[in-house]
Every structure is written in structure tokens, then in C-alpha cells.
Structure 1
């Protein structure tokens, strides 16, 4: 019996009230054809209804791969648990899922991506749930929002438990009746290979969670091949776990990218083909972030200004001295930017995302470079939700997992939002001050807890265009100031909370703000 079915036939397998797990990271690995068919069936028939969907990282984006927005129809979705959600610029119409979240027509939860994968693993093994310290003292904690994103999310999905004399968060396992995953090739028995994919993500774990509990596993692929033609070492999900195969020959490798063999590790690009950023304020910030690194480190990198740091090392002749590790699974190489973020070219290895998150949650790496939307007086950071413009943020993704036990974190961003800035002669000038303060007394949403970081002895640095701050027991401490910046006028008076100033205040190197390479060497720890 063939496992090959159409996307419409796959949609017909989903019954009202089911729990459906979807493997995707924004546009990367998204089974968009199957999701589109589910949405189309609902439009035509009014079914399936009242689904609960699980998205460990995210499904879809605003740039050509709709993902979860195919399902964002009142009546179709009842509950969504996702590591992150599609986001877009404040000037754009919000994604449909955000409109549903805002009007409480779906119960929405933002659950750290690593915990989402843990929930699947526990469900697959028929264990009761996840006991973790990831998320304590953040919005994940039930003493705060408990992952809830709106009033409709009234059911508790996480509890505070005392185990062996310590506080833990407990997430009960959630069993999916359907898993929808994606690969490149499937043979007639359903064995899956990922040769054109930029990441494996967590398809195996999601398939196990459904299969072991009597559910159905649907795989969307680019092509079917004859039995016996796939090498066993290349098969990432065995056919015994796959019930049905949907072929979409037009599936994109990732957002706005039909296929790039360097993303899937089939070729290596010459380093000379990677563009390095032109001089601007963001590049100056990224340069200062790079100065925090050391030769031989394994370093996680996130979206935003810090995503440019690998290009800084390329320009400075330091490529290869740091091994980049990203949550989608790439190890080494050059992490990509913009629509291809989440992928790397020239990677040394690609591991499944659940294992990458185990590495992160246990703090096995050396440092993480991340962004911020807000920082408060405790050193806590918000990246997951702005009260005034929630749809311009994606949610936490893997941020909470990554920061929970990271030895060192460097957060980067602009001191104020909307400021007009310029560079000249190794100095920075504020031509017009920003109207929105990002250094505040209390953040809108605690994605990272400064208090917990102090308790755990984590090394926390905040790099902005006008100063560098460290997290100290008493709060934020200004340790460096940029050339051209007035401490009182441009830093202390512009902060929405009180900042302490180091008695050993230094001036940031003028070379950061100039056009030529700055002569960085990681051998001694980012010296200039």
C-alpha cells in the first residue's frame, strides 16, 4: 500500500478537537502545503474545528511562507502553544494569528522552544512531563504569566513544584494525535532524508510523540524515490514512524530561498563571498560585542545586531576562532542574516534542535550574543513582548532556554529607540534623541531574569551605541562610554531608571566608529 497522498487527503485526516504538532522554524522546514490544505478544508467545510497546535520553534513568516496563518481562522484553532510566532514591522498589518491573539479568539501560549521539545520527548516516552528550572522568575513562571499571551489562555500549562527542597517548573506532557513534519526525500516506505534542508529541527521527536501514542505522522517532502536508494546513515526519520507522505516539489528551503546548497552543507562557499557590513552604528555595536569573545569558544548567536558579529570576525581575519552554535542546529560555519537567519553556510555539523537545546539548557557553551527590547533596573531583559506593539515581536523562541544557565551573555541594542545618530572622526553624535526609552524601571515582560543571573553568578554585559553596562549585585553599572557621548546628558538622563557608574569608567575605542578594520585579535580576548 502506498503512503503517498495529496495535501487535501492529509487535511481530511485531521478531526475536530485534535492536537496537532507542526515542525518548522519560521520559513525553514515549514510543511506549508499541508497547512494550506487544512486551512482550505476549513474554509470549504467548517472542519476541522477546535484544534490545539504545537509549534516548538515557529511556523511561517510574513514574507511568503504563511505557516500558522493558514490555520488562523476563528473556529479552526482553539489553543496554540508555540516557541514563537510570525512577526513583522509595526507599519505592516499584523499576521492573522496575532489578530486572533489580540481579540482572544484563540488561547495562545508562548513556551520556550527547548521546553516544547522536552514536552514532546516526555509524551513519546509516556512519562508525565517536564521538570525544569528553565524559565524561573520569567514570564514562563506561573507566578508571572505562566506562558499565557492573552486572557483566553486561562488554563494553566505550567506549575511551580518543590522537588528535593528546590523550586522547579513542571510542564505536563502533551500528546499529539497528528504530527506534520518535513524533509527533502522520502522513499516508498517513508524513510526520510534531509539533504536539501537547512536543519533537521525536531521532526523525529515529534513523530515519536505521535506514533508512540497511536497518532498519525504526515511527512511533506520535495520528492519520492525508490526503495533502497536512500543510504541508511542519511535517514533521519525511519519509515516505520511515517504514515503518509505529501509531495510538494515547490517547497522552499527557507524564506524566499528555493535552494542554496551551502545552507544544506552540500558545498562550501569561499569566505570572500560573504558580505561584511558597511560602517554604521550597528556595526560599531557589533564590533564592541566581538571584543567580549575569546579564541576557542563555542558561542550562541541570536537575531538582531549580534547576528553581524560573525561578519566582524571575518573582516578582522578571526574567522574560525569561535564556533557558532544556533538553536536550529547548525554548528560552526557562518550564520546567515535576514530571511535566511536560522541557517548557516559552511557548517561543521547540523544536529537536531532538541539536542542543541539540551546543550543550551545545561550551559555547556561559553557565551551567548543576544538582543534586547528593554532592560530594567534589575538587569532583566525583555525580548518577547512589547505592551504597545505586541505583533512586532516573535516571542521568546529559544531565548529563555539559552539564557537560563549561560555562563556569559552579551546583550546588544540601541540605548533609546528612534534616535538619529551619526559617526564622524571616531566619535558618535546624537543628532536627535529617541522618544522611546529602552532602559526602564521595570520591563513589560521578563524574558531574562537579572535577579536569577546574580544568584547563579552569570557574567552579563549590555552593549549599546553610547555605553557598555555590566550587571552587578546593585543593578546596572556603566563601565564604558563611547567617544562623543556625554555621560550625564546622553546616558544617565536618558535612562528610565537609576544607573550606577563605575569608578573606573573607560572610553570605548575610537576604532569601533571608524571605517577600516580595527585590528582585533581574539587570542587575548578581543583585544584592539
Structure 2
């Protein structure tokens, strides 16, 4: 192990190098190293044409991969999500690089596959979605489609179709820890997540690559408890000390260090702020009615991650269910928004890939997910819509094997304004963009696959609730105050099956004290 300045490390990275990144959203980024790469490229034009591999999204909108999202610096990316990376999305959408989007859980498992020296791995996850080569093959822009490279193939084993996700090359992997001791052992005690750090380091070594770790502290040999060593020193090649941790080594976007997110401090539930009444909270109120006591639950990004946890806490449900997040968090109340992936009062923090092992193998009892588009076959799109290429993240890994899926979304978007009064919902201004369309722009959740496997699927909006059947969507509930024809059917690009037992949504969900509460969604 050798200590090195980030500016010196950059000179060792060759043009066209394969770089693997670890991290989750705005957490776990090696910002000192990424900033140095950016500065070198702007000053000298090198390194350039880097090929990037990562699992989860790699920024909170300002840090991480966004630092090197420059035309000419990156030539290829294989990743799971770019929803909070506007500069990276711009490069993808303008075909300035090859972009391949694959399920986040499969990418975490590819690190383990590569650590074992294998050419790839087999799984049913992704069948019937845009990742399936018979659909789009995960090719996320025109440049990727023209490249001839196929990251996924269909194979048949004993009469059953599987997808084969191919291993990739790694010249360098950038990993973030908290401390390093004199022997090179790495701890992550102040980090909010464990992620896939060990398997990523092992994968790089298996391919002859270098392991680079950014840390805040240097400790005496033997200072780290053996059970707290995340990466043993023999796997580490270089260590970069963050000179400005308040900028380049923040634990979470909101804090340099907050012990609530690393599990070092638990706070009373009543100390957590309550969510203001809104369309999102209203949807969350209806969605939590799908909960069953003892259920193991996954929360996705967006409305689920932002409101399901707080609403469940307000309603006293936290001790009756178990929340999990794909990042590895078990229990607690999720932080949500640009800090999706972490939680206050977590009961356990597993490594990233192990969380997906459970999702893939057992299938959680219920997952709550967002939706950008829904079509007449029950397909859901969250990965590409209106020209915006966000990616699938862990959405496919979670929804395909889950026993029950609850999609949470507004009925329309783009200027939607509603009000509640006396237990009734009123549409003041309709959103300009319909969400229930004849055909989704991209299949991130396959309604047909779900129907063949008799999966229970529910679609919850502020004004209507649908369920999936083999014949299509069935409208089962409408909000009090809503007109079936004018406020629902007229705004859908297809005609759903209307249940003969159509019910009103519970009026108590629309009551939030006296008077009218105005809610807006942009």
C-alpha cells in the first residue's frame, strides 16, 4: 500500500482506461480523486475516453460522477441510474458516449462474479424489460445501439430462459473508506453504507487492476478491530487522503458527519419531523393500507422513499413491519429525496449485494415503487420518458421477484393542483402530461411477465386505485369528489376495466384539519 496525492494518481490513469466506481447516490464518492481527474483533463486533455462501470447512481446532483461528466473525458458507461446526474444524462442523451443501463442489483453481483474470475452470471432478472436483448438489450442511446457491443445475452438452461450478464474489464476501482491503518486495512465506521466495497476490490485484483481508496484518517497499525476491517490491506494499492473532507468526503449530502446515519445514534420517533400534507403524502396514506403486519418491505426512490416511512411512523406502524432499502439498510425511517438509500434508526446495514441476494431469492413481501408511465398491459416505465434517460436503478431487481408491488404516482403531472375539503378531493388544475398511456416509452416493469406469474400489483394515485389482472388494469377505487368520466377515464389513453364493485377511497385520508389544503405537483 502506498499513500499518493490525487493529482499524482491521475498521471497513472491511461487514456481509454476502465474505471469502476463504488458509491450510492450522494454517498461514498471519491470526490478528491474525481476532481483531480477533471482538473487534469481540463488542463491537459488527459486522461480521456475513460470507460466507466458503476452499480448505483453516483451523485446527489452535484458531486461524484458529475465532476467528470465532460465531453471527451468519458467514452462509455455501464451503470444503473443517472436520475440525479444532469450533466451525465446530457452526455447520454446527446450521444456523446456509449451508454448501457443494467439493473443495479445485477451490477453489484457482477463485481462478485468478476472477483471469482468468471465471464458473467445467469439470472431471470430483467426478462421482458428493456434489458432483455429481445427488447432493447440495455442499450441506452443510439451510440450504444450502433456499437455492436452486447452486455447481455439470452440463454436457455434446461428449458428455461435466463439473461447472461457479461463481466467487464477493470483497470482501476475507486473506493471510499473512513480510515486506513499503517498496514492498509480500511474501515468504513463513519460511512452510512457498506456497499460492494470488498467485492469491487477483489474484482479489480482478479483482473490485474489497481485498488484506490480515499479516506479521512490514518491510524496506527492494529487500531481497527478485525471485524470492522472492510477491505484488508493486501488488496489496497494506493490511498488518497482527503485534504478537504468537509467538501470532498462528506458522509451524506446534508452533513460532513451525522451519527444518526452511521448507526451511532438513535433518536426518538417523535423527534422526527412530520411531513406536511401534500399530494405525495395523500398517495402514501392510501399506499400504506396495503401493508400487512410482519411484512418485509422495500422502498424505492421518489414518493415511496420520501413518504411511506414517515407516514408509517405517524400511524404507529414501524414496530409491526420491516423496511429495507436496496442500498443494504434494514429498519428505521428512510431519509428520502437526494439522500435516498440511508435511514435514521436503522436496525442493520448490510452490504449492497447481499441485500439484492434476498430480493432476488426470497422476494420481499411488498415493494413500493414510483411510476412515470403506465400502459393498458400494466407495464411501467421509470427509466426513460420524455427524452429524459434516468435509468432503472434497482427497480427491476426488486419488482420482478417481489411478492406484491405497489406503484405510487400522481394520476397526471406537470402543473397538477388539487385541494381537499370535507373529506373530498377537488382537481383545481389538471396536469398537462398523462401518465396512463397506451404504450409506455420503455418497459421497466413487465405487466405481461407479472401476469404470467400471478403477481399482485396495485397502482395507487391520489384519485384512483387500479389492480393488475391478466386482462389488463382494473379500476377498483376512486376518491370522493372525483367524477369517474371527467377526472379519470377522459384522461387515460386507454379504457381500463371498471370493477363492478367500484369503491370510494377512505374519506379519512383526505382530512387534514379544518379548511382546505392546496397541494401542487410540478
TM-score relative to the length of structure 2 = 0.94
Structure 2 match to 1:160: 154
1: distance between equivalents of 2:38 and 2:83? 17
What CA deviation, in whole Å up to 9, does each residue of 1:358-399 have, x standing for no partner? 11122432110011001000101001111x2405xx311100
1:10: how far off?
A: 2.1
Structure 1 match to 2:328: 329
2: distance between equivalents of 1:10 and 1:473? 56
1:400 aligns with 2:396: yes
**Contact 1:462–1:468 (8 Å) recurs in 2:** yes
Gaps of 5+ in 1: 89-94, 518-528
5 Å-filtered alignment, 1:135-214, equals: 135-153=126-144, 154=147, 155-214=149-208
Q: SS where residue 7 of structure 2 aligns?
A: helix
Q: Which of 260, 263, 286 is residue 262 of structure 1 equivalent to? A: 260
Structure 2 match to 1:223: 217
Structure 2 match to 1:271: 269
Q: Which of 399, 408, 427 is residue 430 of structure 1 equivalent to? A: 427
1:320: how far off?
A: 1.7
**Contact 1:175–1:209 (8 Å) recurs in 2:** no
2: distance between equivalents of 1:76 and 1:488? 52
Structure 2 match to 1:92: none
Q: Moved runs in structure 1, 4+ residues, more than 6 A?
A: none
2: distance between equivalents of 1:152 and 1:252? 35
Structure 2 match to 1:417: 413
Q: Which of 51, 65, 69 is residue 72 of structure 1 equivalent to? A: 69
Please tell me the root mean square deviation across aligned C-alpha atoms, in Å. 1.5
1:281 aligns with 2:279: yes
5 Å-filtered alignment, 1:318-467, equals: 318-386=317-385, 388-390=386-388, 394-418=390-414, 419-467=416-464
What CA deviation, in whole Å up to 9, does each residue of 1:187-230 have, x standing for no partner? 12221111111101111111010012211000011111111111
Structure 1 match to 2:518: none
Structure 2 match to 1:483: 480
**Contact 2:364–2:402 (8 Å) recurs in 1:** yes
What CA deviation, in whole Å up to 9, does each residue of 1:129-160 have, x standing for no partner? 11111111111011122111111113211111
What CA deviation, in whole Å up to 9, does each residue of 1:426-468 have, x standing for no partner? 1100112222110001001111000000111111000001111
Structure 1 match to 2:519: none
1:99: how far off?
A: 2.2
**Contact 1:256–1:339 (8 Å) recurs in 2:** no
1:503: how far off?
A: 0.9
Structure 2 match to 1:525: none
2: distance between equivalents of 1:290 and 1:128? 42
**Contact 1:3–1:189 (8 Å) recurs in 2:** no
**Contact 1:370–1:411 (8 Å) recurs in 2:** yes
Flag the 1:317–1:256 CA change in 2: closer, same or farther, 3 A: closer
1:257: how far off?
A: 2.1
Structure 1 match to 2:494: 497
2: distance between equivalents of 1:344 and 1:199? 10
Which segment drifts farther, 473-482 or 309-318? 309-318
1:404: how far off?
A: 1.4
1: distance between equivalents of 2:443 and 2:362? 20
**Contact 1:440–1:496 (8 Å) recurs in 2:** yes
**Contact 1:428–1:483 (8 Å) recurs in 2:** yes
1:3 aligns with 2:6: no
Q: SS where residue 152 of structure 1 aligns?
A: helix
Q: SS where residue 368 of structure 2 aligns?
A: strand
1:516: how far off?
A: 5.9
Which segment drifts farther, 347-356 or 41-50? 41-50
Q: SS where residue 319 of structure 2 aligns?
A: coil
**Contact 2:212–2:240 (8 Å) recurs in 1:** yes
Count of aligned pairs: 505
Structure 2 match to 1:243: 237
1:281: how far off?
A: 2.3
Gaps of 5+ in 2: 515-522
1:73: how far off?
A: 2.3
**Contact 1:377–1:475 (8 Å) recurs in 2:** yes
Q: Which of 48, 69, 89 is residue 98 of structure 1 equivalent to? A: 89
Q: SS where residue 502 of structure 1 aligns?
A: strand
Structure 2 match to 1:523: none
1:502: how far off?
A: 0.7
Q: SS where residue 14 of structure 1 aligns?
A: coil
2: distance between equivalents of 1:21 and 1:373? 29
Structure 2 match to 1:22: 21
**Contact 1:59–1:86 (8 Å) recurs in 2:** no
What CA deviation, in whole Å up to 9, does each residue of 1:305-337 have, x standing for no partner? 222112112111222211111011110111112
1:420: how far off?
A: 1.6
Which segment drifts farther, 67-76 or 426-435? 67-76
**Contact 2:115–2:202 (8 Å) recurs in 1:** yes
1:115 aligns with 2:106: yes
Structure 2 match to 1:13: 12
Q: SS where residue 290 of structure 2 aligns?
A: coil
